[in-house]
């Protein structure tokens, strides 16, 4: 079964003024679509990988389960497909979210001291990622919350990740995610992004992650 580009759960302009409609349109229809096309092309060469599903395919990156001939293509494009599919769902219109659930808020305060402290550490991870990549808030194997960043289209599900975790929130800090509006001002984009975080989705991801479940599985 070939992977497909998912629809956005909102209009391209829904995240204005923090994320502009033109960027969202290009990001979804060009960049994300290219990852879908390319991972499908890679899997056509090894049909046995199609049965893994997107989450297990990402978990297999860096293992012998992915043949060397397509390892880079699967890592970059399978990662890009999962990352973006996840990313779209953790955002929403600026007025549509009421903040983290009580359970997630308590976990954030337990791990970081406060929501503001968590944001500060997350922002530092996002701003400090050299070149292209992502910042993540996730549930670590011991059940606690952690923050990490990954290069390119890697994610914390992959066997190659330095910090394994099940993502709760993720932020794309590739230049294509923000350059039209923010140019080289990545920290400004990161700060603005918190206005469109869908905390209800993050809270659902947290509850699922605590049970060992990954978005899209």
The reply to whether 172 sits in an annotated binding site is yes
Nearest to 148 by CA among 166, 122, 169, 130: 122
The reply to whether 28 sits in an annotated binding site is no
Burial environment of residue 95 by CB neighbours within 10 A (0 to 12, 13 to 18, 19 or more) = exposed
The reply to whether 32 sits in an annotated binding site is no
Determine the Cα–Cα distance for residues 165 and 19; give it in Å rounded to an integer: 27
Nearest to 135 by CA among 182, 186, 183: 186
Determine the Cα–Cα distance for residues 117 and 46; give it in Å rounded to an integer: 45
The reply to whether 27 sits in an annotated binding site is yes
Strand partners, 170: 136
What is the layout of strands, in order, in the sheet containing 166-172? Answer: 145-151, 133-139, 166-172
Q: Are 69 and 172 in contact (CB under 8 A)?
A: no
Per the annotation, binding residues for Mn(2+) are 27, 84, 172, 176
Per the annotation, binding residues are 27, 84, 172, 176
């Amino acid at each position: 079964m070939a992977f497909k580009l998912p629809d956005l759960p909102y209009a391209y302009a829904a995240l204005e003024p923090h994320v502009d409609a033109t960027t969202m349109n290009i990001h979804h229809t060009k960049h994300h679509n290219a990852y879908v096309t390319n991972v499908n092309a890679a899997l056509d060469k090894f049909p046995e990988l199609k049965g893994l599903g997107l989450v297990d395919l990402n978990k297999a990156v860096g293992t012998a389960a992915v043949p060397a001939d397509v390892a880079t293509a699967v890592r970059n494009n399978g990662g890009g497909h999962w990352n973006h599919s996840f990313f779209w769902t953790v955002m929403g219109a600026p007025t549509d979210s009421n903040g983290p659930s009580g359970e997630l808020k308590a976990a954030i305060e337990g791990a970081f001291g406060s929501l503001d402290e968590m944001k500060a550490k997350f922002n530092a991870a996002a701003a400090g990622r050299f070149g292209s990549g992502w910042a993540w808030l996730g549930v670590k194997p011991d059940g606690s919350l952690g923050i990490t960043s990954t290069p390119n289209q890697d994610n914390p599900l992959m066997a190659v990740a330095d910090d394994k975790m099940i993502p709760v929130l993720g932020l794309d800090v590739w230049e294509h995610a923000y350059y039209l509006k923010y140019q080289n001002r990545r920290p400004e984009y990161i700060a603005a992004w918190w206005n469109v975080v869908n905390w209800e989705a993050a809270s659902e991801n947290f509850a699922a992650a605590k049970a060992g479940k990954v978005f899209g599985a």
